[in-house]
Structure 1
Amino acid sequence: MSIITLIIKREFIAKVRNKSFIVMTFLSPLLFVGIAAFVGYLSSMKADTKRIGIHDETGLFVKEFVSKNTKDGEYEYLDLSQIDIKFIKDSITNERYEGLLYIPKTANSKALENKIQFISNDSPSISFIESVQDEIASKLTKANYQTANLDTLAIQNAAANITINLSKSSGEQSLKGLNEIKIAIGGAFGYLIMMFIIIYGNMVMRSVIEEKTNRIIEIIISSVKPFQLMMGKIIGTSLAGILQFFIWAIVGLLLMVSASLFFGVTISPTAKIPPEMLHVAQQEFAATAQMYIKELWNLPIATILISFVVYFIGGYFLYSSFYAAIGAAVDNETDSQQFLLPIIMPLVLGVYIGIFTVIHDPNGTIATVFSMIPLTSPIVMLMRIPFGVPLWQISISVALLFGTFFGVVWFAAKIYRVGILMYGKKPTWKELYRWLHY
């Protein structure tokens, strides 16, 4: 058995036997499910009703506002036009009302446009104010039509309602929102890689710092080369991480099945829908769902899965080499903070490039370039692949990723070789550069 294999085995066993590793392996799925259930419970709770007073001196708008549920909560509108406005303002100060919509009487509708006020102790949400503005503007617009002797019914009939049907060049019907689904699939894989790199890369770094602090490292390197020790730590920690992820998936699946069996909630329509309409709606939903399933099945599933494994391995080994080098260069985790930011920033940049660029232009220059850069390609390329990427671009990206990995390993090994025996001094970027020439 080779020395690296022995180190891998030692690191793997040390990680999986660690009490915190065992506890978090089985506790994390429970926490995730518990948090998800708690969030679901909170979202199902009825929000507090917000009482909005209306003082309408014109008498034109008060009937336009009815109590309703919105994404900001439930609003109850109360007609307070007959009550003195000073008394209403005092009630708002005492928080009997959420706010007051004050509509003064003016000479004409044009003068009214900038006279309306909403009085409250706290600033209301933008969406609420916009909905109130739309209600009043709609009413005023209809009144202006009548004043100008315009036929409002004819204007409504003349308004165009455009629905664009999507289709492919082959003649098949396409679907709306498909790009969002594709970016969600690629983003999920890319985010998983990023979280694995951050969590288990830090674990590699802490392992090196711990052995260096305890001076165990001096005994270990008397029998093995620093490069072999570094690679053994990276691979051993990654195998422990994969095992933990596998256990999380199984436990999470079992918890979801258990929750659906013992605490399942049957979702049924709250409104009474005629049976014939419900049957038609079910048929339309089934047809639409079938089309989406067909589109998803046409995605390059094999390419996505294979690329995920390849970029998962390449990205993790690339960044773990950085983490191992940082662990060797410092004496404690506090000193490592100055070196971690340059490592994390490319990962964050890759996520932002994927979200804000790939979804709009997956084959554009920016998306293509960052899917080739090794530090961002594990995330950006996985977001691009569901949209269809030429095989030659994937090949070049993978070659650059693994080529950079081998180069970084070579540089990291030089830092690692010198750093693991350095104590009591905080290294600078200049000193790290000097270590590369030893």
Structure 2
Amino acid sequence: MSIIALIIKREFIAKVRNKSFIVMTFLSPLLFVAIAAFIGYLSNMKADTKRIAIHDESGLFAKEFLNLNQTNTSYHYLDLSTIPTQGLKDSITNQSYEGLLLIPKTTSTVDLESKIEFVSNSSPSIVFIENVQNVIAQKITKINLHKANLDTLAIEKAQSKVNINLTKASGEQSLKGLNEIKIAIGGGFGYLIMMFIIIYGNMVMRSVIEEKTNRIVEIIISSVKPFQLMIGKIIGTSLAGILQFFIWALIGLSLLFVASLFFGVTVGPSASVAPELIQNTQEQFANTAQMYIGELWNLPIASILISFVIYFIGGYFLYSSFYAAIGAAVDNQTDSQQFLLPIIMPLMLSVYVGFFSVINDPHGTIAVVFSMIPLTSPIVMLMRIPFGVPLWQIALSVTILFATFFGVVWFAAKIYRVGILMYGKKPTWKELYRWLKYTQ
């Protein structure tokens, strides 16, 4: 067995036998399920109803707000126009009401547009204020139309709702929201790569720092080359991470099966659709679902999966080389913080580029350029592939990624070779550059 294989085996066994690794491997899925259940419970909880007092001297708007009580459970409006204004303001101070809507009596609707006041102890939400403004604006509009002798009913009937049908150039019908589904698929794979890099890249760095602090590394490198030790750590840690991810997926699927079997959780479209709705619109629902499934099957699934594996390997190895070099350069994790930001920034940038650029223009200049840059391509390119990317762009991006990986490994190995035996001194960027120039 080669030296690198022995190092990989040693790192893998050391990771999987670690108590924290074992605990988090089996505890993490349970925590995720518990958090998801707690969030679902909170989302189903009924919010406290807020009481809003209305003092309408004009007598035009109170009824409009009272009608909202039948459909709005978040706010309950009370017509208290007969009570003096000062008494209502005192009630707000005593927190009997959430707020007071003061509508003065005027002879012109133009004055109402700027003289209505809302009194409260705390600043109300933007959504609430916009809803109140919309109710008042609609009522004033009807009054203005009536004064102009215009038929408001006829105007409402004349208003139209447009539903644009999407069709491909080939003549096939397309679907709305398909781009969002594609970006969700690509973003999900990209997010997995990012999380794997951050979690297990840090694990590589901590392993190097631990061995360096305990002076074990001095014994190890008497038998192996620093480059072999670095590569063995990266691969061994990645295999442990893949095993952990596999166990998480297995436990997650098992929990999903148990939930569907014992708790009646239904998996599929019928889980969120009422039975009477399915009976009334069964044919339409089935046709729409079939079209979406057909569109998903038309996606380059093989290309997505193969690209995920390739970019997963290339991206992880690229960033892990950085983490290993940082671990060799410092004596503790506190000193590593100044070097971690330049590593995290490209990952965060790729996520923002993916969600704000790829979804709007997957074949635009910004998306194409960042899918070629090796520090961002593992995430950005995976977000582009569901939209259909020419094979030459994928090949070029992968070539640049792995070429950069080998270059970074060479540079990281030079830092690793020098820094692994440096103690008691906090390195600077200038000193790292000097280490790169060492030939011995």
Structure 2 counterpart of 1:49? 49
Structure 1 counterpart of 2:74? 74
**In structure 2, what is the Cα distance between the partners aligned to 1:232 and 1:211?**
14
Structure 2 counterpart of 1:116? 116
Structure 2 counterpart of 1:378? 378
Structure 2 counterpart of 1:338? 338
**In structure 2, what is the Cα distance between the partners aligned to 1:119 and 1:112?**
16
Structure 1 counterpart of 2:226? 226
Does structure 2 retain, via aligned residues, the 8 Å contact 1:354–1:367? yes
Does structure 1 retain, via aligned residues, the 8 Å contact 2:54–2:78? yes
Structure 2 counterpart of 1:298? 298
1:91-240 alignment, distance < 5 Å: 91-240=91-240
Structure 2 counterpart of 1:259? 259
How much has 1:119 moved relative to structure 2? Answer: 1.1
How much has 1:153 moved relative to structure 2? Answer: 2.3
**In structure 2, what is the Cα distance between the partners aligned to 1:377 and 1:385?**
11
Q: 1:268 to 1:321 in 2, by over 3 A?
A: closer
Q: Matched residue of 1:372: which SS?
A: coil
**In structure 1, what is the Cα distance between the partners aligned to 2:97 and 2:306?**
59
With 104-113 and 11-20 compared, the bigger mean Cα shift is at: 104-113
- For these two proteins, the number of residue pairs brought into alignment is 433
Q: Matched residue of 1:327: which SS?
A: helix
Unaligned 5+ segments in structure 1 are none
**In structure 2, what is the Cα distance between the partners aligned to 1:322 and 1:184?**
29
Does structure 2 retain, via aligned residues, the 8 Å contact 1:200–1:241? yes
How much has 1:92 moved relative to structure 2? Answer: 1.1
Q: Matched residue of 2:74: which SS?
A: strand
Identity %: 79
**In structure 2, what is the Cα distance between the partners aligned to 1:143 and 1:260?**
55
How much has 1:226 moved relative to structure 2? Answer: 0.2
Does structure 2 retain, via aligned residues, the 8 Å contact 1:4–1:228? yes
Structure 1 counterpart of 2:436? 436
Does structure 2 retain, via aligned residues, the 8 Å contact 1:68–1:74? no
How much has 1:154 moved relative to structure 2? Answer: 2.6
Q: 1:68 to 1:389 in 2, by over 3 A?
A: farther
What per-residue deviation string (whole Å, max 9, x for no partner) do you get for residues 396-433 of structure 1?
Answer: 00000000000000000000000000000000000000
How much has 1:152 moved relative to structure 2? Answer: 1.5
How much has 1:279 moved relative to structure 2? Answer: 2.2
Does structure 1 retain, via aligned residues, the 8 Å contact 2:8–2:233? yes
**In structure 2, what is the Cα distance between the partners aligned to 1:265 and 1:385?**
33
**In structure 2, what is the Cα distance between the partners aligned to 1:232 and 1:278?**
56
Q: 1:225 to 1:268 in 2, by over 3 A?
A: closer
Give 4+ residue runs of structure 1 displaced > 4 Å after superposition.
265-271
What per-residue deviation string (whole Å, max 9, x for no partner) do you get for residues 288-346 of structure 1?
Answer: 11111111110000000000000000000000000000000000000000000000000
Structure 1 counterpart of 2:415? 415
1:375-414 alignment, distance < 5 Å: 375-414=375-414
How much has 1:101 moved relative to structure 2? Answer: 1.3
How much has 1:281 moved relative to structure 2? Answer: 2.0
1:312-323 alignment, distance < 5 Å: 312-323=312-323
Q: Matched residue of 1:334: which SS?
A: coil
How much has 1:158 moved relative to structure 2? Answer: 2.8
How much has 1:98 moved relative to structure 2? Answer: 1.1
Instruction: Give the partner amino acid of 1:137.
Output: A
Structure 2 counterpart of 1:369? 369
What per-residue deviation string (whole Å, max 9, x for no partner) do you get for residues 381-407 of structure 1?
Answer: 000000000000000000000000000
TM-score, structure 2 length as denominator? 0.96
TM-score, structure 1 length as denominator? 0.96
**In structure 1, what is the Cα distance between the partners aligned to 2:97 and 2:55?**
13
Does structure 2 retain, via aligned residues, the 8 Å contact 1:330–1:426? yes
Q: Matched residue of 2:426: which SS?
A: coil
How much has 1:160 moved relative to structure 2? Answer: 3.0
Does structure 2 retain, via aligned residues, the 8 Å contact 1:54–1:77? yes
Structure 2 counterpart of 1:325? 325
Does structure 2 retain, via aligned residues, the 8 Å contact 1:209–1:332? yes
Q: Matched residue of 2:367: which SS?
A: helix
**In structure 2, what is the Cα distance between the partners aligned to 1:200 and 1:378?**
16
With 26-35 and 255-264 compared, the bigger mean Cα shift is at: 255-264
**In structure 1, what is the Cα distance between the partners aligned to 2:42 and 2:54?**
30
Q: Matched residue of 2:233: which SS?
A: helix
Over the residues paired in the alignment, what is the CA RMSD in angstroms? 1.6
Does structure 2 retain, via aligned residues, the 8 Å contact 1:68–1:76? no
Does structure 1 retain, via aligned residues, the 8 Å contact 2:278–2:285? no
Does structure 2 retain, via aligned residues, the 8 Å contact 1:69–1:75? no
Q: Does 1:310 align with 2:310?
A: yes
Does structure 1 retain, via aligned residues, the 8 Å contact 2:259–2:265? no
Unaligned 5+ segments in structure 2 are none
